């Protein structure tokens, strides 16, 4: 969990992609052995990259995705098929080349000493949370992971570290706990919790309020609309509290000053 590192542009090839839930894929990419200057900057959890499938017309914007894993040979991410870019990714064959820029953005900070990391994810937020759970397990920490989905078909089939306690919550009760991620947190001792969350805005806002009510720290990953991803276009501004003038918001660029923020810094 280091701080932001210099990013690189590289070529990768699709090694594998598999369906992990209805409309969700996990894609693994290997750095191309033939690319000039093979990128070796290892990302950390919370960071993201932007991707441009190789055959795209130049007019198509790069799309940002969070890392869900990485090693020295390549990296993975989890995505939901939503529109043209993700539909296109889902139709690419193994071996197809993609052009990417990463690692970008900030990383999840370490939890305060003696705290228990509580990771809360929903929807497309599951990728960075899986990566964080893996990093925490490697560092010897035991975490609680609470995952929310509308129904059993949308629950991602993933390998979580053995040291993580995983609770699944579904809105319709078709799998695991019947209810939202907050129901998944009820009857849990959170006196030493450190919350990390990524997913739909209302879910993260609810986790933020829960953390404030229980006086515990909370970090959120703001997956805002991004165009350039590198601080050049102002397209990802999010309102934050201006400590010098609380009557009006200040703004931060989610791509370079985030995507990870202390939840108390943001205006919800
Ligand atoms: C830092 C960051 C991390 C992300 N991580 C993931 C991830 O791990 N998995 C995942 O599935 N998605 C992730 N996203 C969202 C992902 O970028 C969009 O789902 C994707 O760009 C959709 O493109 P599309 O052409 O398929 O759909 P479109 O039809 O273009 O858009 C569908 C919806 O996706 C969102 N979206 C579109 N373009 C962007 C963009 N440039 N930036 C952000 N959101 C956009 C909007 O909500 C839009 O309504 C992340 C976004 C950001 C900013
Ligand atoms: S996406 Fe361009 S400045 Fe953040």
Query: Counting every residue, how long is the chain?
Result: 268
Beta bridge partners of 118: 144, 195
| Ligand 1 neighbours (beta carbon < 6 A) | 48, 61, 63-66, 77-80, 82-86, 124, 127, 223-226, 259
Bridge-based pairing state of the strands 48-53 and 74-80: unpaired
**Ligand 1 midpoint to CA 164 (Å):** 28
pLDDT at 55 over 90: no
pLDDT of residue 99: 87
Q: Which of 145, 146, 139 is nearest to 113 (CA)?
A: 139
* Cis, peptide link before residue 132, omega less than 30° from 0: no
- Nearest 5°: CA angle at 203, between 196 and 234? 80
Residues 6+ apart with CB under 8 A from 153: 21, 22, 174
Look at 3 and 139; give whichever has higher pLDDT: 139
Dihedral in degrees, nearest 10, Cα atoms 215, 106, 88, 125:
-10
Q: What is the pLDDT averaged over residues 240-259?
A: 88
Q: How far does residue 254's CA lie from ligand 2's centre (Å)? A: 7
**pLDDT tens, residue by residue, 136-172:** 999 999 999 999 999 999 999 999 999 999 999 999 9
- pLDDT score for 2: 41
Distance CA 198, CA 178 (A): 20
For residues 192-200, give the mean pLDDT: 97
> Which H/E stretch holds residue 137?
helix 126-138
The CATH number of the structural domain formed by 120-188+198-208 is 3.40.50.80
pLDDT at residue 202 in the model:
96
* pLDDT one-digit tens code per residue, 108-134: 999 999 999 999 999 999 999 999 999
Share of the chain above pLDDT 90, in %: 72
In this structure, what DSSP letter does residue 266 have? B
**C-alpha 104 to ligand 2 mean position (Å):** 11
Res. 57: pLDDT tops 80: no
Residue 174 clears pLDDT 70, i.e. is over it:
yes
Tell whether the model's pLDDT for residue 238 goes beyond 70: yes
Q: What is the DSSP letter of 147?
A: E
Domain ranges of the chain: 8-104, 120-188+198-208
Q: Which residues line ligand 2 (CB under 6 A)?
A: 226-229, 231-236, 253, 255
In CATH, which of 3.40.50.300, 3.30.1490.20, 1.10.540.10, 2.40.30.10 is domain 8-104? 2.40.30.10
How many whole angstroms separate alpha carbon 31 and alpha carbon 48?
Answer: 16
Measured from the Cα of 224, ligand 1's closest atom is 53
Which among 223, 226, 252 is the best mutation to test ligand 1's pocket, defined by most ligand atoms within 8 Å of the CB?
223
């Amino acid at each position: 969990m280091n701080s932001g590192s210099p990013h690189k542009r590289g070529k990768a090839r699709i090694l594998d992609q598999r369906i992990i839930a209805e409309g969700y894929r996990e894609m693994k990419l290997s750095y191309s052995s033939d690319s000039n200057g093979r990128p070796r900057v290892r990302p950390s959890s919370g960071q993201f990259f932007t991707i441009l499938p190789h055959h795209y017309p130049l007019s198509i914007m790069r799309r940002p995705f969070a890392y869900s894993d990485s090693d020295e040979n390549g990296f993975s991410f989890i995505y939901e098929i939503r529109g043209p870019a993700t539909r296109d990714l889902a139709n690419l064959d193994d071996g197809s080349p993609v052009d990417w820029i990463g690692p970008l953005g900030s990383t999840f900070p370490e939890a305060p000493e003696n705290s228990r990391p509580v990771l809360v994810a929903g929807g497309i937020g599951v990728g960075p949370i899986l990566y964080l759970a893996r990093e925490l397990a490697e560092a010897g920490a035991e975490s609680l992971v609470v995952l929310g989905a509308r129904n059993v078909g949308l629950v991602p089939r993933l390998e979580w570290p053995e040291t993580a306690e995983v609770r699944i919550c579904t809105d319709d009760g078709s799998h695991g706990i019947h209810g939202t991620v907050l129901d998944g947190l009820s009857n849990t001792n959170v006196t030493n919790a450190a919350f990390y969350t990524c997913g739909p805005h209302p879910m993260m806002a609810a986790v933020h309020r829960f953390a404030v009510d229980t006086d515990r720290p909370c970090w959120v990953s703001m997956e805002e609309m991004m165009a350039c991803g590198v601080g050049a276009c102002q397209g990802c501004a999010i309102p934050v509290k201006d400590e010098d003038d609380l009557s009006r918001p200040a703004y931060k660029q989610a791509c370079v000053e985030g995507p990870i923020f202390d939840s108390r810094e943001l205006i919800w």
